[in-house]
């Protein structure tokens, strides 16, 4: 039983590290898109996906650290990403984020 538990622990550990590396690589590739991205919408989408990847990263790190303290962070990133992307989208579409006259 003890052995099995240890084995599972090691398995989770290794797999989360592999996953972290995978996600990180994807972040780096996305970073390339953010910097090069021929148009600004490209960058916006890349940033959005970086955010999703960061959510994943946070989760994986939380697993790695055996902690539940970071669940808030994951939720928050989700909300912020949504708000940020909507704001960006609106900015790219209309040039402003908050419209003044609501008629």
**Where along the sequence are the contacts to other proteins (CB under 8 A)?**
17, 20-21, 24-25, 27-28, 31, 34-35, 37, 40, 43-44, 47, 50-51, 54, 57-58, 61-62, 64-65, 67, 69-70, 72-73, 76-77, 80, 83-84, 87-88, 91, 95-98
Q: What is the DSSP string of 42-82?
A: HHHHHHHHHHHHHHHHHHHHHHHHT-STTHHHHHHHHHHHH
Shortest Å, Cβ 61 to other proteins: 5
CA 68 from centroid of its chain's CA atoms: 18
Question: Based on CB atoms, which residue is closest to other proteins, 3 or 100?
Answer: 100
Instruction: Check the CA dihedral 64-66-67-71 and report its sign.
Output: positive
Shortest Å, Cβ 97 to other proteins: 6
Is 67 in contact with 86 (CB distance < 8 Å)? no
Question: Based on CB atoms, which residue is closest to other proteins, 11 or 29?
Answer: 29
Shortest Å, Cβ 59 to other proteins: 10
Is 93 in contact with 41 (CB distance < 8 Å)? no
């Amino acid at each position: 039983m003890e052995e099995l538990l240890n084995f599972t622990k090691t398995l989770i550990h290794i797999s989360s590290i592999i996953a972290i590396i995978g996600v990180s690589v994807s972040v780096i590739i996305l970073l390339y898109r953010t910097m090069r991205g021929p148009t600004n919408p490209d960058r916006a989408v890349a940033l959005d996906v970086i955010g999703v990847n960061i959510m994943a990263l946070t989760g994986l790190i939380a697993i790695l650290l055996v902690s539940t303290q970071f669940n808030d962070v994951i939720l928050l990133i989700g909300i912020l990403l949504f708000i940020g992307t909507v704001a960006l989208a609106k900015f790219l579409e209309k040039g402003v984020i908050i419209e003044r006259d609501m008629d």
